[in-house]
Amino acid sequence: MRLLITGGKGQVGRALEAEAQERGHEVFALGRDGLDLTDPGAIQRVLGEVGPDWVLNCAAATKVDHCEEDREWAMTLNAKAPGWLAEACAREGAGLLHWSTDFVFDGRGTEPLKEDAPKNPLSCYGESKALGEDAVLATDLAQVLILRTQWVYGPGGRNFPAAILARARSGQGLKVVNDQTGRPSYALDLAVSALDLLEGGARGLYHLAGGSVATWFQFAKSLLEMAGLGEVPLEACGSEAFPLPAERPQFSVLSLDKVESFLGRSMPPLERGLSDWLEREESESPKG
């Protein structure tokens, strides 16, 4: 297939590019300099030039707290741009795979969230992503796949394990929130399963995330132990210890029932993603 990846320099974009190339697809992975999604004219022009079978939209305003401060930026990229992309895909006869988030939920429940759970975002980021889903679904597109994911970390990305590891290696103790629960999701695992879904004919809305449920504290603890830094002081705390502009959902564990039933396998556990992530970080970090 001919695949156009937007946001191709981000964590999920890079993982999808590598996995799609490995599978022999013809891949055009564009960063913001190749396709700026705030420009509807550029979207139409680039889709016309590339003529993809599918567009994989990995671009988004992902700085959750910054979205609270710059609502227009969040709404343009996360709410309007997916609609412009969907319209261009419809005109060009392409399918659209679009990524969304657990932040569309309020996380006030205690059970894993299924695809049809009611949306009730707590933040501008969540609201803008929820509107982006609606914009894609409102377009008359023959082929759509929306994947909601959460707590993404990939090699070389701006993410939670990278921040924890940097702080631990600098000899500083750590305090990590223990009252938010989700599924850490390794970008490379997401890419494999997303392409399996696409190639396997899955259409509509799916939750896709890592196989293990953890709090941020548990995520950090597993990481430090696996990195041989188990002696670094690590303290559990509540969310109130780190007041942030955007409110986070507390229990936003995505249900994987639908996706695992389609794929016929379980999503990989945290330890597997972390060990691969650590191995790649080690091999890419400068040697002293």
Ligand X SMILES: NC(=O)c1ccc[n+]([C@@H]2O[C@H](COP(=O)([O-])OP(=O)(O)OC[C@H]3O[C@@H](n4cnc5c(N)ncnc54)[C@H](OP(=O)(O)O)[C@@H]3O)[C@@H](O)[C@H]2O)c1
Active-site positions?
125
Q: Site for ligand X (CB under 6 A): which residue of 18, 23, 36, 239?
A: 36
Q: Which residues of 127-139 are buried (b: 16+ CB within 10 A; e: fewer)?
A: bbbbbbbebbbeb
CB of 47 to ligand X, least distance (A): 14
Candidate segments 1-9, 133-141, 161-169, 213-221, binder of ligand X by CB under 6 A: 1-9
Specify whether the backbone of 42 is left (phi greater than 0), alpha (psi in -120 to 50) or beta.
alpha
80 binds ligand X per the rule CB under 6 A: no
The structure tokens listed for 117 are 């759970």
CB of 61 to ligand X, least distance (A): 6
d(CA 225, CA 219): 10
- C-alpha 141: how far from chain center: 23
> Which residue, 4 or 12, is less far from ligand X as judged by CB?
12
CB of 218 to ligand X, least distance (A): 17
H/E element, 205: strand 204-207
Contacts 24+ apart (CB under 8 A), 242-246: 242/177, 244/65, 245/65, 245/68, 245/69, 246/64, 246/65, 246/67, 246/68, 246/122, 246/123, 246/124, 246/125
214 binds ligand X per the rule CB under 6 A: no
Candidate segments 29-37, 48-56, 88-96, 271-279, binder of ligand X by CB under 6 A: 29-37
Cβ atoms of 255 and 207 closer than 8 Å? yes
Candidate segments 2-10, 105-113, 221-229, 241-249, binder of ligand X by CB under 6 A: 2-10
152 binds ligand X per the rule CB under 6 A: yes
181 binds ligand X per the rule CB under 6 A: no
128 binds ligand X per the rule CB under 6 A: no
151 binds ligand X per the rule CB under 6 A: yes
CB of 15 to ligand X, least distance (A): 8
d(CA 267, CA 106): 24
Locate tokens 């109130």: which residue?
A: 240
Cβ atoms of 104 and 113 closer than 8 Å? no
52 binds ligand X per the rule CB under 6 A: no
Angle formed by the axes of helices 216-226 and 160-169, to 10°? 50
9 binds ligand X per the rule CB under 6 A: yes
99 binds ligand X per the rule CB under 6 A: yes
96 binds ligand X per the rule CB under 6 A: no
Binding site for ligand X (CB under 6 A): 6-7, 9-13, 31-32, 35-38, 58-60, 62, 77, 99, 101, 129, 149-152, 157
